[in-house]
Amino acid sequence: MAAVQDGQLNLEVEKDIKTEITNDGSGNINANSSSPGSTSSGGKSKSPAGSGEDQQTLLAVLQFLKRNKLTESVDILRREAGLSADADDSPVSESAGAGSGGVPSVGADGGDANSLLSRVSIATPVAPPATAPPKVVAASGGEDQPDVNVVLSAYSQQGDPVLYPLYYNGLKKFIESVLDCHRAELSQVFYPLFVHMYLELVYNNHENEAKQFFEKFSGDQECYYEEDLRILSSMSKKEHMKGNETMLDFRTSKFVLRISRDSYQVSCLGKPEMSRSLWQLTITYRMLSYQLLKRHLQERQNNQIWNIIQEHLYIDIFDGMPRSKSQIDAMSGSLAGEGKRDANKAKVFYGLLKEPEIEVPLDDEDEEAENEEGKPKKKKPKKDSMGSKSKKQDPNAPQQTRIPLPELKDSDKLDKIMNMKEATKKIRLGPDNLPSICFYSFLNAYQGLTAVDFTDDSSLIAGGFADSTVRVWSVTPKKLRRVKSAADLSNIDKESDDVLERIMDEKTASESKILYGHSGPVYGISFSPDRNYLLSSSEDGTVRLWSLQTFTCLVGYKGHNYPVWDTQFSPYGYYFISGGHDRVARLWATDHYQPLRMFAGHLADITCTLFHPNSNYVATGSADRTIRLWDVLTGNCVRILTGHKGPIHSLAFSPNGKFMASGATDGRVLLWDVGHGLMVGELKGHTDTIYALKFSRDGEILASGSMDNTVKLWDTLKAFDDVELDDFTAATGHIHLPENSQELLLGTYMTKSTPVIHLHFTRRNLLLAAGAYNP
Amino acid sequence: MAEERRPKQCTVVLPTESMKAMAESIGVGQLQEESCAALSEEVSYRIKEIAQDALKFMHHGKRRKLTTSDIDHALKLKNVEPLYGFQSQEFIPFRFASGGGRELHFYEEKEVDLSDIINTPLPRVPLDVSLKAHWLSIEGVQPAIPENPPPAPKEQQKAESTEPLKVVKPGQEEEGSIQKGQGAISAEAKGKKEGLMRMKPRSTHELSVEQQLYYKEITEACVGSCEAKRAEALQSIATDPGLYQMLPRFSTFISEGVRVNVVQNNLALLIYLMRMVKALMDNPTLYLEKYLHELIPAVVTCIVSKQLCLRPDVDNHWALRDFAARLMAQSCKTFSTTTNNIQSRITKTFTKSWLDEKTQWTTRYGCIAGLSELGPDVIKTLILPRLTVEGARIKAVSEGPVVSNIDKIGADHVQSLLLPRPTLTVSQSGIGGSGGSRSPSIIKVPSSLTLMSTRPGTPTQPSPPATKYIVMATSAGASSTQQVLDGSLVITLSSSSGSSVTSTVASATSTLQPLVKLESRAASGLGGSRPLQKYIVVSLPTSASSSLESKSGMLPPSSSSTSPISLEAGMKMDHTGCVPNGTLLPI
């Protein structure tokens, strides 16, 4: 039953420490930030001269020499001086070193192409450009994100602030002048360039220039970046950059762009016919094109842009046709650009685990029996699918024992039998046969309802409230009862048949119970599958496990130091996931007070968490507008899904585990193919944040509930059928989204000023919805 | 792309004066201007940062409103002590004070008498959170129960009526059903036969028992004798959200009612029906376009019909015409589109009958009133050029041989409608500040008033009993804010006294004089909108007319020139001219 080997636990602890180091780094800025500033101002005075860059580099060296008592600074110095070849002994940050490795070489040599070539090729082994993406590792937060100190000093490079708008304009004109098919792809560069140029201006204390730059060009940016721009605009002083999370995100992570090879060449040269032939060749030639790009930009005196591209952008080059504007728009929008294509290459076992065989006429058959008769999944045991289809193990399913799962208890088996019996009465849904919706309104909640969950058998409802309470209701005639006190329990005849009935205290029977314990609003809530436990996560930074037998708190899991936005039980119980403001998702087991896994990589708050139906994967949605899928076994991030234009607030897996739906503040539902890591659909219709998503028990209908007081039903069967997945789209991930959300919409149901914050399909496919009435 | 939004975000900074004030409040005296500037930038940035964090808490709290607790939590994230206990009864609890050239906002802290608090009874314990279940949808159809919102929002009604083809065409069934939203969906799958079913307007929809009862109550109250009940019913029509299913019935009720009562010359009932139209138009949840083909003929009838009451020489049917004309203008403004061309068709109708030599003076008056409500452009292009001709005609009647009393009164009214008077400019200047779009009513109001006071030469007529008109001063005052009330009928003082053409000029002026003042005050406070044009005088059915009502079929003794037949003909002409959709029911 013990879930994970100790070795891995240690690893986790180590990673934990690393993230802490990162945090310390942010503290360091305070100490060091003054000196880079002075350096830069020195640099500024000389920069108008042609050899300014040399001077600047020297100044930087001098400055670091002054401080060389600090080991950190030495590291920085190495990187800054372009000694990345020696720097491979520095464990701090490979990728960061690689990223900045090219920069000094660019800055250092004036126009000497030969020396440049040699420099770049030195750097090559460390950072083969665009070919070997930095491996995305779990807890990569520590490694992926360089020291904040480094981050800030990276901005000490600068040119004449007056020229920035000129540079930007020059590029804008250049891109506007290229062929139509390339324009859309190349214009992706605008936003990250804009951000970094602005930040550079701010960092170098050119407050007014920065403001002008912002006012001049912020209007050009895509509207879905509005939120970030708002944060940026408020940042007008160097001091502000210290602790600003969004700033750190921009600095610590490279903005990922996908550009087709053709377009990239265009951007390199501005002369497609020349470059196309060159580009087909080997890596040497690729170096050459970098050089040519540099030369091209130098001709236009666009050093700044080149530096930024080198330093802060990750350009993911693919072969094939350039993408259209709509294709790009579909995928962009996240805080750090699109996911790298290679990030989604790992195999994901999205199939379902075999269900242990249980005879319906109950006999104590061994639950480990290999005779797999039927139910493809606990949630979805179908009578009609008995027999042939699911006899075989799903080829896409993970091994049964890939993750240690808790053994079935007798009560679980009973529950499964109940489940199967219910499932036989299940209504088959479809466009012609829409589900009935039963709405549970929370009255007198005074806007305090923050989270709702139903048990799988729909017998209990729990609500988390802003007043720190958790309330549990029974929606069946069966009342909630507490177990008797220890003294009373000792008097019970343990041999009697109805001992389970006898231990309950009849005097405590009531329709609802209140659980007190949190000291802040309860943002996440989740029932265990066996209905014995309830999890709640709160603003106070804890996750609490409650017993539904005694209605008391059993454990408070402390690990998150900041608000925990969501928590979710595994469909098999025992494990649970939590995620919050600290950007780290933690995987816990109920009997460990420390997390088993920490999934770090998101660049902003984790806003929602969800287990894959086979419990081997965990999906997290974040305010950085990406969804990540994590492998529970290895802790790796196996999918990065971009495309949402706002913080993601709801996730749902289809019952067969193959598809995922996500809803965000932008009011759109996106559908994903988990196996391919592709967006396969976009459902437009809601006008406000989508807080609830749920697939029907057979996966035929997706229900979405939103802040705009509606429940909408979507035909997912059709949505997934319409997607044609040939090899090419699967390989490149550039899919043409069918514009059919109106056809897929099966129904819209307005509530009476009640935002829908949870949805649940009962085992018979009745849809339950819940929300607080806000008159 | 994104140009339209995003104001100058980066420039929003707290004023340095606030910094000074705050510094002083904690005992720092002379703060340098530079430090103030630096401080204010820093503070503004921090405040924005906190607000952005607080927004996160609002989102996770599943709210649309930012609360003080969100700010507290955001402060906590930053390791800042929250502002414990900050709460306020008001939205913005700050008070403003200025003096010595400085402006200050401060938080008002009143002295609290403890004994008061101790002695006040405890407030009621707020109700506990509870769960209530209801059906949001049953197999795809949303049941019409109080827990669910009213079935069809206005946009949907509009979509249905403006794009009926989408619903009808079998090929587009799916899209149509989406437009229709719920309700039709389950039917959708059942094939094209169902699609044809859906073509039928909602009038085939059966009303629930409650709705039937409601309909009965409302219609009875609207035409009944109890004024208080009527006001209530009209209020209900004007505000209730769930009436759209009854809309076809209401519109039929009104059009049938007008048809019958015009024939019977039942002025009071016509007035009531027009008030219903007004209330329907005021209801924000109703989309009337589908029923204009019934309503517009009814309204136009009330404007231009030759005879609306039993005693045209005495009863104030002019007010009804004015009121209906205003209704007409309103519906033109709301519903006229390039496809249905309501306004131009209405204009044509009015013009045509006005130009006709044989048109009765009553119809003439209605046409001019209707046109004059349609805006300054119409007045300029259609009325002004006709002034001379009309003047000659009026002159002929008033100075020529006495033809008939009724003609004379009619001519008087037309004259009063058309005559711009010197006093016009005076009252206009009083109102003129409030907006220039009022020209038609402006022309009308003061001119008729002055007509009364300055025209001593009018032939004396038997003055109606003074008790017949009850001037509701309060309602006149209130009407500036409450459109419904001013719509509530009836008779403008000007035209009422005009119709009675007072025998004693002195008495007329004396009663009128105070009202002039009242109007200019109310109108200037109105700010550009047009609701208050006249004094609202509620006319109760006179004993005479009510007695006549009961003997409804009777021909009025004094109406010599009109017969039911000619009336009918006149009406027909009206209707053919003004049908919006070409699907007019013949009257």
DSSP per position, B71-140: HHHHHHHTT----TT---SSSS-EEEEEETTEEEEEE------HHHHHHSPPPPPPPPPEEEEEEEEBTT
pLDDT: is A376 or A336 the higher one?
Answer: A336
The answer to whether A237 contacts B134, with C-beta atoms less than 8 Å apart, is no
pLDDT surpassing 70 at residue B315: yes
Task: Report whether B187 contacts B198 (CB < 8 A).
Answer: yes
Could you say which of B130, B135, B189 has the minimum Cβ distance to residue A431? B189
Q: What is the pLDDT of residue A544?
A: 94
What lies within 8 Å, CB to CB, of A21 at 6+ separation is A142
Q: Answer whether residue A606 shows pLDDT above 90.
A: yes
Distance between B2 CA and the closest CA of chain A, angstroms: 5
In the numeric block, the tokens 């997945």 are attached to A725
What are the Cα distances from residue B356, in Å, to A152, B352, B361? 86, 6, 11
* Geometric angle at alpha carbon A282, from A281 and A284, rounded to 5°: 115
Q: Cβ contact (<8 Å) for A215 and B8?
A: yes
pLDDT at A304 (0 to 100): 64
Contact A441 B1 (CB under 8 A): no
Nearest CA in chain B to A563: B77
CB-CB under 8 Å, B62 with A755: yes
Average pLDDT, rounded, for chain B: 65
> Cβ of B63 and A757 within 8 Å?
no
Residue A661: which of A679, A675, A646 has the closest Cα?
A679
Residue of chain B with shortest Cα separation from A562: B77
| pLDDT at residue B195 is higher than 60 | no
Mean pLDDT of A720-735: 62
- Most A CBs within 10 A among B39, B131, B190, hence the mutation to make, goes to B131
pLDDT of residue A524: 94
Contact yes or no for B178 and A745 at CB 8 A: yes
Cβ neighbours of A466 in B, within 8 Å = 61, 69
For the cut 50, the answer to whether the pLDDT of residue A382 exceeds it is no
Instruction: Over range B46-60, report the average pLDDT.
Output: 89
Pairing of strands A767-772, A437-443: parallel
> What's the CA gap between A692 and A712, in Å, rounded?
10
What residues of chain A lie within 8 A of the CB of B44, using their CB? Answer: 234
Question: What average pLDDT does the segment B329-353 reach?
Answer: 84
Residue of A236, A438, A463 lying closest to B10 (CB–CB): A236
Other C-beta atoms within 10 Å of B420: how many?
15
Q: Annotate B73-89 with b (16+ C-beta within 10 A) or e (fewer).
A: bbbbbeeeeeeeeeeee
Beta carbons of B36 and B19 less than 8 angstroms apart: yes
CB nearest to A769's CB, from B44, B57, B136 = B136
d(CA B10, CA A568): 40
pLDDT over 90, % of chain A: 24
More confident residue, A440 or A501: A440
Does the structure show a pLDDT above 50 at B300?
yes
* Pick from A431, A435, A752: CB nearest B148: A752
- The alpha carbon of residue B47 is apart from the nearest alpha carbon of chain A, in Å, by 10
Which two three-digit tokens encode residue A542? Answer: 């804890």
Q: Give residue for tokens 């940026």.
A: A232
Average pLDDT, chain A: 71
> Which residues of A are less than 8 Å from B48 in CB distance?
234
DSSP A337-374: BSPPGGGG-S----SPPPPPP--SS-----TT-S---S
* Buried residues in A367-384 as b, exposed as e (16+ CB within 10 A): beeeebebbbbbbbbbee
pLDDT greater at residue B205 or residue A596: A596
pLDDT digits (tens, 9 = 90+) for B355-398: 887 777 888 888 888 888 888 888 888 888 888 888 888 888 77
pLDDT tens readout for residues B110-161: 788 888 888 888 888 888 888 889 998 888 888 777 778 776 666 666 666 5
Residue whose entry in the numeric block shows the structure tokens 């006249």: B534
Q: Residue range A210-234: average pLDDT?
A: 77
The top-scoring range by mean pLDDT among A100-109, A170-179, A535-544, B489-498 is: A535-544
Residue A461 has pLDDT above 70, yes or no: yes
Asked if the Cβ–Cβ distance from A752 to B147 is below 8 Å, we say yes
Mean pLDDT of all residues in A59-79: 55
B394 compared with A443, residue with greater pLDDT: A443
- Name the residue facing B136 among A215, A751, A753 (closest C-beta): A751
Query: Which tokens is A341 given?
Result: 């294509």
DSSP state of A516: -
Strand partners, A253: none
Answer for the pair A259, B38: CB distance below 8 angstroms, yes or no: no
A223, A461, A751: residue with CB nearest B131: A461
- Going by C-beta distance under 8 Å and a sequence separation of 6 or more, which residues neighbour residue B127? A443, A444
Taking only the tens place, the pLDDT of each residue in A235-282 is: 777 777 776 766 666 766 777 777 666 555 555 444 333 333 333 333
**Lowest mean pLDDT segment, chosen from A60-69, A378-387, B30-39:** A378-387
Residue B551 has pLDDT above 90, yes or no: no
pLDDT band at residue B35 using 50, 70 and 90 as cut-offs: confident
Contact flag A623-B56 (C-beta cutoff 8 Å)? yes
Write out chain A residues lying below 8 Å of B129, CB-based: 442-445, 448-449, 463, 465, 471
The string of pLDDT tens digits covering residues B303-313 is 888 878 777 77
Instruction: Please give the residue of chain B at the shortest CA–CA distance from A608.
Output: B60
Q: Do A750 and B2 touch (CB under 8 A)?
A: no
Check: complex ipTM more than 0.85 = no
**Alpha-carbon distance B451 to B458, whole Å?**
10
Nearest 5°: the CA angle B415, B419, B423 is 135
Distance from CA of A283 to the nearest CA of B (A): 38
- Interchain pair A743, B182: CB under 8 A: no
Q: Burial, A346: exposed, middle or buried (Cβ in 10 Å; 0-12, 13-18, 19+)?
A: middle
Query: Which chain B residue has its CA at the smallest distance from A770's CA?
Result: B133
For residue B134, which residues of chain A lie inside 8 Å, CB to CB?
438-439, 441
Chain A / chain B CB contacts < 8 angstroms: 185
One-letter amino acid of A191: Y
Least confident of A417-431, B197-211, B488-502: B488-502
Q: What is the pLDDT of residue A695?
A: 94
CB contact under 8 A, A432 and B181: no
Q: Do A230 and B52 touch (CB under 8 A)?
A: yes
Instruction: Determine how many CB atoms are found less than 10 A away from the CB of residue A506.
Output: 11
Which of chain A's residues have a Cβ under 8 Å away from the Cβ of B5? 223, 226
Chain A residues with CB under 8 Å of B139 CB are 433-436
Mean pLDDT confidence for B287-301: 85
A647 Cβ contact partners less than 8 Å away, ≥ 6 residues apart: A604, A605, A607, A621, A622, A623, A625, A664, A665, B59
Q: Mutation test of the interface with chain B: which of A752, A754, A758, A766, choosing the one with the most B Cβ atoms within 10 A?
A: A752
Q: Which of B458, B585, B475, B462 is nearest to B535 (CA)?
A: B475
Mean pLDDT along residues A748-752: 89
CB B107 within 8 A of CB B120: no
- Mean pLDDT for B549-573 is 37
**pLDDT recorded at residue A128:** 35
Q: Give the lowest-confidence range in A75-89, A231-245, A307-321, B219-233.
A: A75-89
CA distance B129 to chain A (A): 5
CA of A37, closest CA in chain B: separation in Å?
18
Q: What is the dihedral of CA A190, A191, A192, A194, to 10 degrees?
A: 80
Instruction: Please indicate whether, in this complex, the C-beta atoms of A742 and B148 are within 8 angstroms of each other.
Output: no
Q: Does the pLDDT value for residue B425 go beyond 70?
A: no
| Predicted confidence band of residue B448 (pLDDT cuts 50, 70, 90) | very low
Q: What is the pLDDT of residue B356?
A: 80
Higher-confidence position of A341 and B270: B270
Taking an 8 Å cut-off on Cβ atoms, the answer to whether A223 and B5 are in contact is yes
Confidence of residue A48 (pLDDT cuts 50, 70, 90): very low
Residues of chain B contacting residue A229, judged by C-beta atoms under 8 Å apart? 6, 9
What percentage of chain B reaches a pLDDT higher than 70?
57
Q: Are A635 and A601 in contact (CB under 8 A)?
A: no
Q: Name the closest residue on chain A to residue B133, using Cα atoms.
A: A440
Candidates A355, A428, A465; CA nearest to A761 is A428
Nearest CA in chain B to A227: B52
Whether the Cβ atoms of residue B40 and residue B13 lie closer than 8 Å to each other: yes
CA B558 to the chain's CA centroid: 36
Nearest CA to CA, how far is A769 from chain B (Å)?
A: 9
Q: What is the pLDDT of residue A300?
A: 57
Tokens in use for B41? Answer: 């930038």
Is the pLDDT confidence value at A621 over 90? yes
Residue from A234, A244, A465, A701 to probe the interface with B (highest B Cβ count within 10 Å): A234
Q: Which of A233, A447, A461 sits opposite B9 (nearest CB)?
A: A233
What is the SS3 assignment for B277-336?
HHHHHHCCCCCHHHHHHHHHHHHHHHHHCCCCCCCCCCCCHHHHHHHHHHHHHHHHHHHC
Which residues in chain A are closer than 8 Å to B63, comparing Cβ atoms?
447
Most confident of A162-171, A491-500, A529-538, B219-228: A529-538
Report pLDDT for A538. Answer: 93
Rounded average pLDDT over A509-515: 90
Buried/exposed B345-376: b ≥16 CB within 10 Å, e otherwise = bbbebbbebbeeeebbbbbbbbbbbbbbbbbe
Chain A nearest CA to B89, separation (Å) = 16
Of the candidates B57, B64, B139, the beta carbon closest to that of A707 is on B64
Contacts of B458 (CB under 8 A, 6+ apart): B412, B501
Chain A residues in contact with B67 by the CB 8 A cut-off are 447
Mean pLDDT of A218-232: 76
pLDDT of A114: 40
pLDDT confidence of residue A474: 92
